[in-house]
Each structure stands twice: as C-alpha cells, then as structure tokens.
Amino acid sequence: MRAQVSRNAPPALHSTAADQEEVAVVGERSFAQRDAECRKRAIDLETETPRKRGRAAAGALEERVVGARSVCTAAVDKRARELALSAFDEYMADRIDAAEFDRRKAEAREKAAAEHAPLTELERASGAYTQAVYVRTRAEAGEDAAEAKLEAVLRGLERGQPGSSGVKAE
C-alpha cells in the first residue's frame, strides 16, 4: 500500500458572514507559550531529585559521621595521653600547678587532633557538606518564595485574560 502526498491545498470550506461574526480572536500564543503553560500544569513524577536526600538518608549519613568521629576520637585520645604524660609527671612532682597541667593537656589534645589526618579530613568534608546543604536549603527557600511571588503576579494578570484556546472566558 502506498500513501500519496499532494502539494495542493484542500479546498476552503464555504463560510458565511454569520459564521465570521460568531468567532472573535482575542489573542494568539506561540508554541513556546502553550508549552510553558502545559509544563506549568504538569505533574512531577520524580518526588526526589538526585541532589536532594530524604531525611532517612541524611540521618544515615550523619550516623556514619558520628561513628567515624568515634573511631577517630579513640585514636586521638590515645595520642593525647602519650603527649600529656610528661606534663602529668611534672604535675605529680609538683613542678607545675593544676592550671599549667590543664593548659598542657589542652595543647596535647589539640596537637593529637591536628596530627590525626583522618579526623582532619573527616571534619573538613563534614563541614563542607553541612555548608553545601545549608546553601542549597537557603537557595530552595529563595526559589520557593520567588515562585510564589511570580504565581501571584501571573494569577493577577491572567484574571480576565483569554484562556489557552485564545477565546475569552465569559
């Protein structure tokens, strides 16, 4: 079976003057405008984008960070004890007072934490992630507010305007 294509336009339908009076064109819209309106009313089937994590996933990630910190803290505590041992000996021999011993213990703890590369890397990555989530959350809130304002402006302008078919609703 072969399909035939004709370059000749079909004959125009007969119209009367009464037919032309019944239809009033009040506006026209481009394909892009119709497409935008259809997309505005479309239902998003993806409830979670790849960049957004649900609360359960975020909670699981936070639990992993806490677990990793716990492992790192044990190693840091061990190293801090090693570093503070000489200060403890001096304290017990009454060569330094309690305030000096506390200062040296704090220094030993800081030095042990700085020496522990996995903890340092964990804290940097966790801080960067927390900051990125904060920035994304703020951006989404700003986007939501801007969208609500745009919707309000559009609703105000669309009242009494022609519908999607170009015919004014009565």
Specify the pLDDT at position 37. Answer: 78
Specify the pLDDT at position 92. Answer: 95
Q: How many whole angstroms from its chain centre is CA 125? A: 18
Split the chain (170 residues) into runs of 10 and give each run's mean pLDDT: 62 59 69 77 61 76 91 92 95 96 96 92 93 92 93 86 55
Question: Distances from the Cα of 90 to the Cαs of 77, 79, 81, 94, 98, in angstroms?
Answer: 20, 18, 14, 6, 10
d(CA 154, CA 156): 5
Specify the pLDDT at position 35. Answer: 76
Structure tokens at 131: 């900051």
Q: Do 166 and 27 touch, CB atoms closer than 8 A?
A: yes
Q: Do 85 and 112 touch, CB atoms closer than 8 A?
A: no
Specify the pLDDT at position 159. Answer: 86
φ, ψ for residue 71 (rounded to 5)? Answer: -65, -45
| pTM metric for this prediction | 0.50
The domain locations on the chain are 55-154
